A and B are shown apart, each in its own frame.
Chain A
Amino acid sequence: MSKFIKLKKGFDINLAGKAEKKIVEVEQPETFAYKPSSFHGILRPKLKVKEGDTVKAGTPILFDKKNDKVLHVAPVSGEIVEIRRGEKRKLLEVVILADKTIEYEAFEKHTVSDINGLSRENIVDQMLGGGVWPNLVQRPYGVIADPSETPKSIFISAFDTHPLAPDYDLIFKGQEQYFQAGIDILKKLTPGAVHVNVNADAEVSPMFAHIKNVELNKFSGPHPAGNVGVQIHHLDPINKGDVVWTINPFGVIQIGKLFLEGKYDASRIIAVAGSEVKSPQYYKTYTGASIKRFVEGNLKNDHVRFVSGNALTGRRVAADGHLGFFDNLLTVLPEGDKYELFGWIKPTTQKLSFQRAFGLFSFLFPNKEYALDTNVKGEPRAFVQTGIFEKVTPMDILPTYLLKAILAEDFDDMESLGIYEIIEEDLALCEFIDVSKHDIQDIVREGLDLIRYS
């Protein structure tokens, strides 16, 4: 029952500074961090370690008191050097000074044929204990999946259409057997299908093309075609009461490794990209790596912003900050804190706009790359323009009405207009193109929290 779905709505943001397709070996960063802020809805993180403790890769370091079965584990072995806290002692980061050679906690190993014999309970227990569970994200709400629930299906987006997104073929090369094992494990968690959605506009990599035990669907179109929320909407939409889980290919591979090799392996390939990077390329490292080593001496100028993740949904990090749990991309953008004389009306070909009132002839240069800075390019205003959000939201959802329902805290309308189907990333493009410069992703999260805790 594989499907082919062609999406017309959306917008590809063609940023300058794509990572060159080569993986560069560098000396590993000194520190790695585990950031609870990577996950939504961790309410009361409770630390299991203190500064000075030594951990192995896979040693539990914290859990959420509200969901205590899910363990969050150390990505690398080493010493806990700092526990960073913010306002009201909010836990920000657990920083680990990494060993030169990583030591791993030993978990139970299985052969490929064993996996089929494992019970669901067994699998869930090993995933929870082995630290790979947080990879599973539950829709609605986009929070860590609840192990006591059974999802109606599981979705994996096998491509990323965000600006400067890393190439999945490259970063997951050679991981086929782990990916298949991960899929076999996931298949046990749901009575429904495991959907793997690939990009119809590019050649499908062997890892995804020959995968068994899944429904392989093809999606074609501009961003957000690679967003798993959009894919769910077209394949198996979420209604009130439904629970669907999503996971990215890295998470699937990590699960496969946990079962086949008995270790929590956080090694991953990340892309360092953006117009301000001298040589944008890929690096081999671990989850939560400090970005310092990748950017030192590799920047065109100092006045930049480091973003863990992509330019649409990422978070700013300091020059000595760390990548988030789900991020395999470090975007470096020029900081845009400067005035521009008549910047709002001056004719230019250097600025990117979805709307033709700015980029009237931009359609003549579809492959032009833009070096966008972080300037807001306008001031916050009331909702005025209509019909524009719909053009970048390839779902049967009316974003303006949904956002207004959230702002009005109208629970019935939020539900009936589709709050269960989206998380922040699905409306990120709306935030990008909004002439009224609203913080749309914040509004979406506000709505999700309202519904979740009501």
Chain B
Amino acid sequence: MKFLREALDKVKPHFEKGGKWEKFYYIYEAHDTLLFAPNHTTNSKGVQIRDAMDMKRLMMTVIIAMIPCLLFGIYNVGYQHFLAIGQPEAGFGDIVLVGLIQVIPILVVSYAAGLGTEFTFSVIRQHPINEGFLVTGMLIPLVMPPDIPLWQVALATIFAVVIAKEAFGGTGMNILNVALTARAFLYFAYPSQISGDVWTYIGGANKAIEGFTGATPLSIGAETVENGKSVVASLSAYGSGWADGIYEFSNMFFGFMPGSIGETSTLMCLIGALILIFTGVGSWKVMISVIAGAFGMGLLLNGLAVNEFMAMPAHYHLVIGGLAFGTVYMATDPVTASQTETGKWIYGLMIGMLTVVIRVFNPAYPEGIMLAILFMNVFAPLIDHYVVIANKKRRLQRATV
């Protein structure tokens, strides 16, 4: 690969100080360092050797952990499409093709819009391009419905990068999770494209078969507050006309149901979680505590149940909606989560509990994890503040004077 290095070295002077493309140095640098680990050496004093791990590797590990969700999402988009138009016997190739046609453009738009914004800011503000967007750019498509208009994806991505990240000073400084901000933006700005019957891509040429409604398990659960029927029975009865057993517990665990592209499969999220935990990139404390919080709150509501949604078995909360996805990929974002180890427990528990509370008691919004995480993002510094104060107090107690 010598020629590649030589080519890069040849154009490098143009980007350096005094060169004709001086302003675009960091764009050059981003590409150079992506291809080649740079030749920088340690300072003359201090640590002379460094750990092999860098930010790129850290972020890339998160992307690798998301790949199972992405691949399954591509398959599931196609699969739901064929279910909805009454051709469940469609071949694997056809299913994947539909999925690819629908998902890849969203992925491309998300990366293009986001990286474009990042590059623009790096040129204007002369700061290096952070690797954080590599993860965000993948997260955004995974939490979008397959039917989302591409211009909305672009708009939401740009909004999130500018308002949620760059306005605060870039990666590492942001208060809110960037990908969730993109989704929240669409939820509030274009509600009709991101809620309601949008979770299954049907396609312009086809018509859904009779009986298909495209509701998600959470909306079915929310309906039981009014109609007084058991959630489990409603879920079982659902889809009997066009996709029997679609909302059985096991099916929801595997993820063959309508929903955002990457978030339907609890199993895939579990694989991602294992990757993140084994590599030490994602905090297991946050993941465990979110699950514990949601399950605990589910049990508590079971105990107090005054309506059928409250009485839904607590473990159903873990497989419906985006809880698993949010837990594994969103709540563990190190920048916006609590940064102290004790704080991570509190932060996770609160997210889990709030998610279930929002789901069950908020009639306007069936999914809770997005709001719960954004809400706790705002509170994370406060949690940390008290953990740090506790540390300071402990230190003061030792003082003899």
Contact = CB atoms under 8 A, between A and B. Distances in A.
**Co-assembled chains A and B:** yes
27 contacts: A239-B398, A305-B41, A311-B49, A316-B48, A333-B49, A337-B39, A342-B37, A344-B54, A355-B53, A357-B279, A357-B280, A360-B278, A373-B49, A375-B37, A375-B42, A376-B42, A378-B55, A379-B33, A379-B38, A379-B128, A382-B130, A386-B283, A387-B334, A417-B395, A431-B46, A434-B51, A437-B50
B172 interface: yes
B58 A385 contact: yes
Given A341-B35, A377-B51, 19 more contacts: A241-B401, A307-B48, A312-B47, A336-B41, A341-B1, A341-B4, A344-B37, A357-B57, A359-B52, A375-B50, A376-B42, A381-B55, A381-B171, A384-B334, A397-B391, A401-B388, A416-B392, A424-B46, A434-B51
Interface in B107-151: 128, 130-132
B219 interface: no
B359 to A, nearest CB: 28
B305 to A, nearest CB: 38
A13 B48 CA distance: 12
A240 interface: yes
B341 interface: yes
Contacts of A342: 35-37
B5 A433 contact: no
B93 to A, nearest CB: 31
Counting chain A CB atoms within 10 Å of each CB, which of B36, B38, B40, B47 scores highest? B47
Interface string A440-452: 1110000000000
B11 interface: no
Interface in A294-342: 305, 307, 311-316, 331, 333, 335-342
B337 interface: yes
Contact of A379 (B40, B280, B335, B399): B40
Interface residues of A, number: 76
Contact of B53 (A396, A431, A433): A433
Counting chain A CB atoms within 10 Å of each CB, which of B1, B54, B334, B394 scores highest? B54
Interface stretch (A135-143, A222-230, A259-267, A346-354): A346-354
A340 B35 CA distance: 8
A359 B361 CA distance: 45
A356 interface: yes
A343 B54 CA distance: 10
A345 B56 contact: yes
Counting chain B CB atoms within 10 Å of each CB, which of A375, A382, A437 scores highest? A382
Interface of A: 13, 15, 163, 237, 239-241, 305, 307, 311-316, 331, 333, 335-345, 351-360, 372-387, 390, 396-398, 400-401, 416-418, 424, 428, 431-437, 439-442
Interface string B13-54: 000000000000000010001011111111111111111111
A398 B391 contact: yes
The 4 closest A-B pairs by CB, nearest first: A378-B54, A343-B37, A382-B172, A351-B52
A40 to B, nearest CB: 11
Interface residues of B, number: 61
Contacts of A374: 41-42, 48-49
Contacts of B364: none
A100 B40 CA distance: 42
A384 B395 contact: no
Contacts of B339: 386-387, 400
A248 B131 CA distance: 44
Given A377-B54, A384-B58, A387-B339, A316 B45 contact: yes
A343 B36 contact: yes
Contact of B49 (A356, A386, A432): A432
Nearest to A343: B37
A340 B334 contact: no
A431 B388 contact: no
B224 interface: no
Contact of A358 (B1, B52, B128): B52
Contacts of B280: 355-357
A188 B33 CA distance: 58
Contacts of B46: 313, 424, 428, 431, 439-442
B104 interface: no
A360 B279 contact: yes
Contacts of A335: 41
Nearest to A405: B388
B16 to A, nearest CB: 16
B50 A386 contact: no
A324 B106 CA distance: 59
Contacts of B399: 239-240
Contacts of B58: 357, 384-385, 435
A377 B36 CA distance: 10
A390 B41 contact: no
A385 B279 contact: no
B3 to A, nearest CB: 11
Contacts of A353: 51-53
A237 B397 CA distance: 11
Given A342-B35, A344-B56, A379-B38, A354 B51 contact: yes
B37 A316 contact: no
B61 interface: yes
A339 B5 contact: yes
B281 interface: yes
A432 B47 contact: yes
B271 to A, nearest CB: 15
A390 B398 contact: no
B47 A441 contact: yes
Given A315-B44, A376-B50, A383 B172 contact: yes
